[in-house]
Amino acid sequence: MVRAPCCEKMGLKKGPWTPEEDQILISYIEKYGHGNWRALPKQAGLLRCGKSCRLRWINYLRPDIKRGNFTKEEEEAIINLHEMLGNRWSAIAARLPGRTDNEIKNVWHTHLKKRLTKNSHGSSESKAPFSAISKLISQKSLSEPESMSSSSQQEPSSSEFSSVTDTNSVTTTMETTIEDKAIMNNIMIKNETMEFSEDFPEIDESFWSEALSDGNSGNPFEFSDGLQHQSSFSSSESVELNRGFIIPNVDDSMEFWYDLFISAGGAPELPEF
DNA sequence: AACGGGGGCAACCGCCGCTTG
DNA sequence: CCAAGCGGCGGTTGCCCCCGT
């Protein structure tokens, strides 16, 4: 399908946003939400294309954006997640609350890639847990070709959970050993003891219904104010680990790990071993 | 003080997949 | 089933600032 770029329309402004434009966009979205990005600039009185507005909002103006330098913990998380997910910045961003895909992408290209290249001659020790988990994921998906592979075709949106909700198949196909879980713990938590139950906890049905009922929009994180709240886990209590990584509480952690596995398992760029 | 190069980051571009009529 | 509309994503660009000379 061939379509003209949305900003090709005459008279639409490009380039850096002014504080005035920002204010117009913010107050419009606070008032009416952003149901239709294409129509938004016209309705708000902005000489911008919808895409530009969306980008500005997502990457800069949202109230839940965390500004400022990335912490060491966040950088490590990015490196680790990148190893598992590849250049899927939105998937990585979904696991770093308050950070945007654009920001993460920039940090990767300007800081982390160089740092990794520098360190590539050093020890491969830091990579070990990820090679291990990649192998684990591969083995699991081999043993469960149909349901896993079909669901892995679709990457869940960064702002909502995967539609794959067959928790029974998850618990059977993602059966893990203590050793597996030790590996997983190593990925996320180097210095902290974290207890996992013997098996992945099953997701309480009420989790889904509660999430879906909020805002009545089908998006668990679209609130009644009409705004999208970025953090995938913002609707429930989270646990902040000493690496600055936010993971959901135990009820949500099932989804977290499952989502991570699906993402990694479905990633075509999953490193070979 | 002036200038050039490099790095960082906001924003744009083009493609893709989903939805809708 | 198909085409168009739309949101979302990743790659890329270009501007601005800082630092070294």
pLDDT number for residue A196: 33
Greatest CA span in chain A, whole angstroms? 61
| Nearest nucleotide (C1') to alpha carbon of A106 | B9
pLDDT number for residue A105: 93
Task: List average pLDDT for each run of 10 residues in chain A, which is 273 residues long.
Answer: 46 88 92 88 91 92 86 90 91 92 92 72 42 41 36 35 32 34 40 34 35 34 35 33 37 48 44 35
Q: Would you say the C-beta of A107 is within 7 Å of strand B?
A: yes
Structural domains of chain A, with CATH: 18-61 (1.10.10), 72-117 (1.10.10.60), 128-266 (no CATH)
* Gap from A15 CA to C16 C1', Å: 13
pLDDT number for residue A67: 81
* CB-based contacts of A247-256 (< 8 A; 24+ apart in sequence): A247/A188, A250/A197, A250/A201, A251/A201, A251/A203, A251/A204, A251/A207, A252/A207, A253/A201, A254/A167, A254/A170, A254/A200, A254/A201, A254/A202, A254/A203, A255/A161, A255/A162, A255/A203, A255/A207, A256/A95
pLDDT number for residue A251: 39
Q: Would you say the C-beta of A118 is within 7 Å of strand B?
A: no
* Gap from A167 CA to C12 C1', Å: 40
* Gap from A56 CA to C15 C1', Å: 17
Tokens of A132: 């291990």
pLDDT number for residue A120: 59
pLDDT number for residue A65: 87
What is the C-alpha separation between A137 and A255, in angstroms, rounded? 16
Tokens of A236: 């429930």
pLDDT number for residue A12: 85
pLDDT number for residue A125: 37
